[in-house]
Structures are given as structure tokens and as C-alpha cells.
Amino acid sequence: MGRATYESIGHPLPERPNIVVTHQPNYQAPGCQVAHSVDEAVEVALQIARKHNGDEICIIGGGVIFEQSMALATKLHLTRIHATIEGGDAFFYYDPLQWIEISNEHHSADDKNQYAYTFSVLTKRK
């Protein structure tokens, strides 16, 4: 995740390794590893995944990190919030012709979620 995303969350996400990408040379993020480029973060994440017999890593943003890593992605997990939220960040544009939607779940607003949302999984066309 990018530094601004980490700072907006305020702590590492639980039960997973966290890597914060920043250009700040002496940046520290307690409970996280720090990388200074998306490429470095991906390499560190792949090393961690392989130690646990995995090969999938997740990039959670923000927008600049998504833009820099989109060419590496083979799967997108998208949550679309069905509301206009002032000051909220929007996911950057992706070319829908390059992706196949493999699942789509709509969820209505409820006691836990103020807004309706759709969770979709897409895979990159070969």
C-alpha cells in the first residue's frame, strides 16, 4: 500500500504482511516493511508469499500505487460503492475490454454498511 493509504488507515492491516511504498528515505511504519518503489514492494511480497507456499499478492492502493502496478495485475477485486461520497477517492480508470468479470455480488445497505455496494472479481484477458 502507498504511504498515504497506510497513514489514512493508521495501522497495519491484521493477519497479513504489510508493505508500505514511499519515496521518503527514512520513513518508518511500525509493524510494516517499507519499500521505495512498487517493483521493490512486489519483490518483497513475492518472497514472503513463496515462504508460505503462495504465489498471490494483493495491492490495496491508493490510486498512484494502482496506476504504477496495473500492468502487473492478473486479477482485480473491485468494490463499487453505490454512492457519491464527497472527498472520497475513486479507483482510476481501467480498460474493461482487457478484463473478464468472473463474479459479481450485489449487497444492499444494511446495519453494517451505509451504502449498497457490488463486489466483483475480474481476470485479465490473455
Distance CA 43, CA 65 (A): 15
Instruction: Answer yes or no: are the C-beta atoms of 92 and 67 closer than 8 Å.
Output: yes
Query: What is residue 80's three-state secondary structure?
Result: strand
Dist CA 73 CA 57 (whole Å): 10
Domains of the chain: 1-73 (3.40.430.10), 74-126 (no CATH)
How many CA within 13 A on the CB side of residue 31? 9
State pLDDT tens for residues 37-96.
999 999 999 999 999 999 899 999 888 899 899 999 999 999 999 998 887 666 667 889
Q: What is the pLDDT of residues 103-125, one digit of tens each?
A: 999 999 999 999 999 999 999 99
Q: Give the count of beta carbons closer than 10 Å to the beta carbon of residue 38.
A: 19
Whether the pLDDT of residue 20 is over 70: the answer is yes
